[in-house]
Amino acid sequence: MESIQTLFQSAKNKLAERRKNTFYGWYLVPVFGALMMIATTPLFHAMGIWAVAMERAFGWNRTQLSLALSFTRIEGGILGPVEGYLVDRFGTKRMVLIGMIIMGFGWIVFSRINHLLIFYFSYLLIALGQGLGSWLALNTMMNNWFVRRRSFAMGLSNALSRFGSLFFVPLLAWLIDPDFLDRPGWSLTAFILAIVTILLAFPLTSLLRDRPEDYGLLPDGDTEEDIERRNKEALISGVKIEQEYDFTVSQALRAPAFWFISLGHGFTSMVLLAFMLHLAPMMTDQGYSLQTAAFVVSAYTAVSMVFQLIGGYVGDRIAKNVALMMFTLCQALGVFVLTFGPSNLFSAYGFALLFGIGFGGRNPISSSIRGDYFGRKNYGKIMGISQVPMNVLLLIGPVFAGVMRDSTGTYQTAFAVLGVLAVVGGFCFLFAKKPIPSDAYIANPN
């Protein structure tokens, strides 16, 4: 009996020691995943589900529904630089808390929709909270905590958010489905989302930390001895160590890579946004149930979850601009399969596979490449400004698809054009060569 207690105590001590030695940046990964799931899944991944419910409830056409999303992109383009400045100035923790609370109140307004203008206003309010409290702020935090393993950490964080979405999207479809009057429906579901968002905001944001240096740590959990050892090994082996430069905003804006990355990200994301909104309506047009459409969304979400990890691993080992091009072309191929293939579930799930590989693989790299190219010090400001050209493209995609559907009765032309633009985005990424300014401050002089 005593030996069993001794073994148990020994195991407990080892676990406590392991926890003590674990770099806090890795604890931030699941928190990032949970916050991103709450912020992005109902608004973006499930937007097609809401669109079907709004269309049935109020008779709005696809163009009117698409405008809500485009208005949020106009808002994002205008406020992106401000959001980036606020994150760098006040830190991730404060901005995420404020954003989550705004998002919660936005869902309350959404639950009371009785007019198209209220629909637009609620969507703008939710998007404002999401802009302040999720993607930009959380990626800025991860960019600060990781350098060598930046792509993998961002990939793992996003994969965890997609894991929650696997179950969240079908659940929302079940709750909202207007064909079943005995279910909660869109209004009550939106109100529940509001309460959950506000209640979870406080405990989750209390775990956030802005920079490792504030706690006597270095990125990746390295020590000064680790850095010195790697530099000596590189010197002996003749391997060149990449220096990290902290660009100012003006230096970044003068770099061609900034514009190529912004355009590449914009072209590929406008495709993603259009499909998030129009995939479910397109499938219901073809006679499939809302639940079936939700399963296709979950399928590409599941694939993207796996390839977030693969993309993060690949992005830390090969040139990020090359990896981005490869994954983007795969995403475009998925669009072409859905557009020109037969209108059946085989094409839908083929699209889900290819689109999930492409979107999942490129997602962590499109964030980490900015950290690698432009450093940590002004990451939030630079990322915020890059949202201006990105959002110009993002506001076009969903509306273009909606207008084409309303005028021609089909999405084929719109999706074909968006697929071509995704290919263009892939080559924009390829042309984004790493800039090295002579007057930039070297963040890591070692």
16-21 mean pLDDT: 54
Dihedral sign for Cα atoms in the order 29, 32, 38, 44? negative
Q: What is the pLDDT of residues 95-104, one digit of tens each?
A: 999 999 999 9
- Report the helix count and the strand count for the chain, using DSSP H and E: 17, 2
Q: How far apart are the first and last CA of the chain?
A: 54
Tokens representing 92?
A: 């991730």
- The pLDDT value recorded for residue 11 is 45
Domains and CATH numbers, the chain: 27-210+245-442 (1.20.1250.20)
Q: What is the pLDDT of residues 40-84, one digit of tens each?
A: 888 887 888 898 899 989 999 988 888 887 777 777 777 888 888
Tokens representing 133?
A: 């409290």
Concatenated DSSP letters for 358-406? HHHHHHHHHHHHHHHHH-STTHHHHHHHHHHHHHHHHHHHHHHHHHHHH
Report whether 37 contacts 196 (CB < 8 A). Answer: no
Query: What are the residue ranges of helices labelled H in 46-134?
Result: 47-58, 62-90, 92-111, 116-133
In the numeric block, the tokens 């072409």 are attached to 336
Calculate the average pLDDT of the chain: 86
In this model, does residue 187 exceed pLDDT 90? yes
- The pLDDT value recorded for residue 438 is 59
Cα–Cα distances in angstroms (integers) from residue 140 to residues 24, 85, 349, 362, 382, in the given order: 16, 11, 34, 17, 10
- The pLDDT value recorded for residue 239 is 55
Q: Report residue 347: phi and psi, to 5°.
A: -65, -40
For residue 135, the one-letter residue type is W
Instruction: Compare 315 and 18 and report the one with higher pLDDT.
Output: 315
Q: What is the pLDDT of residues 115-164, one digit of tens each?
A: 999 999 998 999 899 888 888 899 899 999 998 888 899 889 988 888 87
> DSSP 3-state assignment of 442?
strand
